[in-house]
Amino acid sequence: MGGAGGAGGGGLGFFGYGGAGGDAGAGVGLAAGGNGGNAGLIMGGSYTPSIFGIGGNGGNGVNGGAGGMGGLGGVVGTPGAHGNP
């Protein structure tokens, strides 16, 4: 079985970029891609976005597994793209 991709880490600061989600591992059967990281920081349960940060892209799934979700963008940044199945 292919393992699922890991989630991307969050980007910090003014120009923080969310990390890209990992692609699913190759193997037998479907595996989902990891989610992209958010361009910002979650502290105490509240999300603080960066200013120009761009969300990380979701990882790609394998053998029909779902692609990961793109991460949230910053205040004026764009969200990440979703991964492909």
**HEC assignment per residue over 53-69:** CCCCCCCCCECCCCCCC
In a domain, 85, yes or no: no
DSSP state of 85: -
For residue 78, what pLDDT is reported? 85
In a domain, 36, yes or no: yes
Indicate the number of domains in the chain: 1
Q: Which of 13-17, 47-51, 67-71 has the highest mean pLDDT?
A: 67-71
- Percent helix / strand / coil, the chain, rounded to 5: 0, 15, 85
Question: With contact defined as beta carbons under 8 Å apart, do 72 and 49 qualify?
Answer: yes
In a domain, 20, yes or no: yes
In a domain, 15, yes or no: yes
Q: Which of 4-8, 11-15, 26-30, 40-44 has the highest mean pLDDT?
A: 40-44
